[in-house]
Amino acid sequence: MRALTDDRPLWEREGRDWPNRAASRFLDASGLRWHVQEAGPADAPALLLVHGTGAATHSWRALLPLLSERFRVVAPDLPGHGFTDPLPDARLSLPGMAAALGGLLDALGTRPAIAVGHSAGAAILARMCLDGTIAPRLLVALNGALKPFPGMAGFLFPGMAKLLFLNPVTPRVFAWSADGKAVERLIRGTGSRLDQEGIDLYARLFRRTGHVAGALGMMANWNLDALDRDLRNLAVRMLLVVGSEDRAILPDTAFAVRDGLPDARVELIRGLGHLAHEEAPERIAELLLREAETAGILATGSVDA
């Protein structure tokens, strides 16, 4: 039995003052109704932003405007997250999520030159690259969840998430307890410190059982073993951005990924946690712009010194 998803975030309610609301639109693709934000010059290189588990487009609230000065930025809410419809249970897997996002990009006519994914979003993008769904010139993982959890956690975590997902009471219990203080503790547990606006936006979503069920369903059906085996075949240039204080995904993970890839490097950013792009969007934007120059996606000298 699927967890309850009747209490979805509503655009007229949770989205009433959504960050970058003017950039939002809704469209149908892959059998779902998607919420997508688009900004920047239409003739600029396309840059795709994919958030992680439990987040939505609000995660890019400060980064998107900075990047849209030089790129055509596309940022969707993933299935079951924010204001996008959930996937059926049979498609709630990493390949299923990647295929659904590929259908959205086809509907948008978007071929990203740069694909940027945070946490689980990086795994989705890597899967899409391996499957030939996208062919960016640069793939960026922000604290990417690209390897199975080490040790017993790798066996226990997916099973526990599945049990929670199958229990229809779990999303409601979580939503009832998702006040600002609880959400702040959850975020601090990842090694990040957000301002009050950031905490309030996460709390707004976590109070809706449909969003919680979407995040639990994604975790319950996540299997990174196949991705881990296939990563050695990833031909795209890759930048692995790591916050030194990340407690959700150990920084050492990025170095292990790098060592198995033909064209990858790690950028370690001191003092930031799992949500580094929300803590210091200016630093992340500058890094991405300079990497785009190095990759020849932007003209040399386009980024201020």
* CATH superfamily ID and name for 21-294: Alpha/Beta hydrolase fold, catalytic domain (3.40.50.1820)
Q: What pLDDT digit, counting tens, does each position of 188-207 carry?
A: 999 999 999 999 999 999 98
CB 240 within 8 A of CB 258: yes
- Of residues 162 and 226, more confidence is placed in 226
Query: What DSSP designation does 140 have?
Result: E
Distance separating alpha carbons of residues 164 and 3, to the nearest angstrom: 8
pLDDT digit string (tens) for 107-126?
999 999 999 999 999 999 99
3-state secondary structure of 7: coil
pLDDT of residue 5: 44
Can you list the positions of beta strands (E) in 113-167?
Answer: 114-118, 138-142
pLDDT > 90? residue 164: no
Domain ranges of the chain: 21-294
Contact 215, 54 (CB under 8 A): yes
pLDDT digits over 25-44, tens only?
999 999 999 999 999 999 99
Among 95, 53, 75, smallest CA distance to 202 is for: 53
Query: pTM of the full predicted structure?
Result: 0.91
pLDDT in tens, 256-301: 999 999 999 999 999 999 999 999 999 999 999 999 999 999 998 6
Alpha helices in 46-141 (DSSP H): 63-67, 94-108, 120-130
Mean pLDDT, the chain, as a whole number?
A: 89
